[in-house]
Amino acid sequence: MMLLAALSWLFFHSLLATILMLPLLYVLHGEREKGRRQKREHEKRVMCKDAVMSLASSMAAGYSMENALIRSRKELIRLWGEETYIVDMWRKMEWQVHGMHVPVEEAFAAFAKESGIAEVELLAQLLAVSKRTGGSMVRLLKMCAKQLADALTVEEEIQAGITQVKFEQKIMIFMPPAILLYLQVGSPDIIQPLYTTVVGRTTMIACLILYFVAIVVGRKMAAIRV
């Protein structure tokens, strides 16, 4: 709200303009929430990678998958903390397997579906087949963890590569308002026609629209997913 009020004053010097710009709050809020969702999704993928690897390590040490859930949960608490997404999901699977006697592959399949991560969903399908045919579940778990780790590594490398671009984008976002503010303070007579004539107001509306379009497009270009 404060941002819109400041921009409306810079571009229009009008309280009415601030009210008319309120619908843009929805757009700005949506973009901010999208960024937060992407950050949570990345963290979820890292958690799932650690969980699968911990499960594989426990099973490689001789535990059954049912008991490996308990052992790996303790490891996940050490890595991520008590009240986290992955620990809650592991507790849920433990309760299903040990409390409700649900087959472990079905409990894992439910977790995979809830996670929405393609690699984990594929792993759940392979584990169900492996459970029936006697295949190596440890190998499948390690393979899935490696695929997740490789995807996360590529994603982090890409993000590191565009860090400079994101920094430049932030500078470009602040430059137009900063220049406009400088002109209003230093040379108000030069830009006065932009606020008092029809052509000037139309130009400022067009500039503000282009400004917001540039912000949204720039963020979409920087939001590279693997």
Render pLDDT for 72-96 as a digit per residue (tens, 0 to 9): 998 999 999 888 999 999 999 999 9
5 pLDDT more than 70: no
Res 196: pLDDT: 80
State the Cα–Cα distance between residues 166 and 112, nearest whole angstrom. 33
1 pLDDT more than 60: no
Res 200: pLDDT: 82
Average pLDDT along the chain: 81
166 versus 7: the higher-pLDDT residue is: 166
Res 174: pLDDT: 81
Q: What is the mean pLDDT of residues 19-28?
A: 65
Kindly list the domain boundaries of the chain, sorted by start residue: 2-38+161-222, 40-151
Among 110-119, 129-138, 200-209, where is mean pLDDT lowest? 129-138
Q: Is the pTM above the cut of 0.85?
A: no
**What is the band of 15 on the pLDDT scale with cuts at 50, 70, 90?**
low
Write down the H helix ranges in the chain: 2-12, 15-20, 24-60, 65-80, 85-94, 104-115, 118-133, 137-161, 163-186, 188-191, 193-196, 198-222
Share of the chain above pLDDT 70, in %: 85
